Amino acid sequence: MLDGISATMRRGTITAIVGSTGSGKSTLVHLLLGFYEPRTGAVLIDGVDLRRVDLAAWRRAIGYVSQDLFVFNATIAENIALGDDFTPSQIEWAARIAQLHDFVAALPDGYETEIGDRGLRLSGGQCQRLAIARAVVRRPAVLIFDEATSALDNLTERAVYEAIRSLQREAIVIVVAHRLTTVKDADQILVLEAGCLVEQGVHDELLRQHGVYARLYVEDGRGGAEAAPSGNLVPSGETR
Which pLDDT belongs to residue 8?
93
Please name each of the domains of the chain with its CATH number: 1-61+140-240 (3.40.50.300), 72-139 (no CATH)
CA dist., res. 107 & res. 114, Å (int): 11
Note the pLDDT tens digit of each residue in 141-192. Answer: 999 988 766 666 776 677 667 667 777 678 899 999 877 877 888 999 999 9
CA dist., res. 77 & res. 101, Å (int): 11
236 vs 223 pLDDT, higher one: 223
CA dist., res. 49 & res. 234, Å (int): 9
* Mean confidence (pLDDT) of the chain: 84
The pLDDT confidence band at residue 113, using thresholds 50, 70 and 90, is very high
Which pLDDT belongs to residue 122?
86
Question: Across residues 127-147, what is the average pLDDT?
Answer: 89
Choose the weakest-confidence range: 19-28, 120-129, 135-144: 120-129
Note the pLDDT tens digit of each residue in 37-51. Answer: 888 889 999 999 999
237 vs 127 pLDDT, higher one: 127
Using the predicted structure, report yes or no on whether residue 131 has a pLDDT greater than 50.
Answer: yes
Note the pLDDT tens digit of each residue in 69-86. Answer: 788 899 999 999 998 999
Which pLDDT belongs to residue 230?
34
Which pLDDT belongs to residue 221?
64
CA dist., res. 157 & res. 163, Å (int): 10
Q: By the 8 A CB rule, do 192 and 19 touch?
A: yes
Question: Taking each helix axis from N to C terminus, what angle separates 154-164 and 124-136, rounded to the nearest 10 degrees?
Answer: 0
| pTM check: above 0.85 | no
